[in-house]
Structure formats: C-alpha cells, structure tokens
Chains A and B, each alone.
Chain A
Amino acid sequence: AQSVAQPEDQVNVAEGNPLTVKCTYSVSGNPYLFWYVQYPNRGLQFLLKYITGDNLVKGSYGFEAEFNKSQTSFHLKKPSALVSDSALYFCAVRDTSSGGSYIPTFGRGTSLIVHP
C-alpha cells in the first residue's frame, strides 16, 4: 500500500524568508514522488517530481524538493518566498513495486500563506 502524509494544515512565512512544506510517505518498493500546487478555483499544477537520481530536485517557480530515503520524506522548499506563492500544496506518491498502483495517492494538502 502507498500513503502520504502532510503533517501541517497550514504554513505561514514572511515574504523573502525561506519556506518548507513537509511531506512523508510510505511505500513497499521505491517511490515516485510529486508536488502539485493549487490556486483558488483552479486545478492542480505540476511543480516537480522525483523518479531517481539526485536527491535534490528542482522544479517550477524556484521550488525544489529534497528526497530523503532514510526519513521517507520529500519536503518542498524555496529559498525566498513570494506573496504569490500563497496557495494549496499537495504531495503525491506512487509505489513502483510490482503490484503497486499506477495511480498516485495525494496528501490532504498544506495551505501556504506568505505574508507581505
């Protein structure tokens, strides 16, 4: 079975400060990991993914995420937050083991609020 947890319902950060949105996962085999962002009344937009290779993945809009296998985490980061980054962020995981689902499981989402 595959599952993902986003332990924070909301993250508040001041504009210009670094931000981190946390995600932990559970899979039987190796994970494919994803981050999506959702703005109000919009669908999800893909930010970045980890398949294999470097543990630090760079994505859209200056975001990056660090894959940590020992801690089963895939935290989303940005060095300097913008007010326009305020949105809902979803982490997703797909188990690549045989018998694993081809469909990702999404977390409940974390609301990021960047204060001016």
Chain B
Amino acid sequence: DAGVTQSPTHLIKTRGQQVTLRCSPKSGHDTVSWYQQALGQGPQFIFQYYEEEERQRGNFPDRFSGHQFPNYSSELNVNALLLGDSALYLCASSLATVDEQFFGPGTRLTVL
C-alpha cells in the first residue's frame, strides 16, 4: 500500500498564476481533505471531498477550488496566486465514518 501520494513535490510560481496540486488517497479511503500549512503554523483546513462533492469548507477564498474523481483522487486548484499562498499543501485521506486521517508528504508551493 503506497499510502497517500501527492504531486508535485515542489512547485515555484509567480503572482497571478494558477496552480493545480494532485492527491491520491490511501487504498480503500473515500474521503480527501486538503490543508494549508504555512511556515511555523499548524495545518489549516481548506476543504473536504466525499463522493465527488465538497462536503465541508474552511475559511479560504473562492480562489481555492477542488475536485474529486470517481477513483477518489483529488485536485486542489488555486487561481490568481498571491505571495501569501506560499506554503506546504497537505492532502489527507480517511474513511467517511472514521476520524483518523492519513497525510501525504505535501506539496511545497513557493509564489514569487
């Protein structure tokens, strides 16, 4: 079992650009959550997907959007990048009825 995988590992973009991050959940998991972890901070919840629908959303602007595919993999899209979007983006997978989340290694996004 490969666990939760994310791609790419690192990404450098400039202000105003758009970015897409990808996540494959742990085998058997049907729920994917995305978090933003700024330097020196704990993970901040962006949104969660279940059955291809956004089930819950944190306090992030509409520039942040996502998608879940029938195979449960997920994408996080960020439009009109700002310098403040620079962070480690973590994907976590779980079963819908279980609290324990399994995290991927993250994608380090740097916005210049």
Name A residues whose Cβ lies closer than 8 Å to a Cβ of B.
Answer: 32, 34, 36, 41-46, 49, 51, 90, 92, 94, 101-109
Contacts and interface: CB of A to CB of B under 8 A. Distances in A.
Residue of B6, B41, B99, B102 ringed by the most chain A CB atoms within 10 A? B99
Contacts, number: 55
A43 B40 contact: no
Contacts of A49: 99-100
Interface residues of B, number: 25
Interface of B: 4, 6, 33, 35, 40-45, 48, 55-56, 58, 90, 92, 99-106, 108
Given A103-B33, A103-B58, A90 B101 contact: no
A103 B105 contact: no
A46 to B, nearest CB: 6
Contact of B43 (A41, A51, A102, A106): A106
A46 B44 CA distance: 17
B27 to A, nearest CB: 16
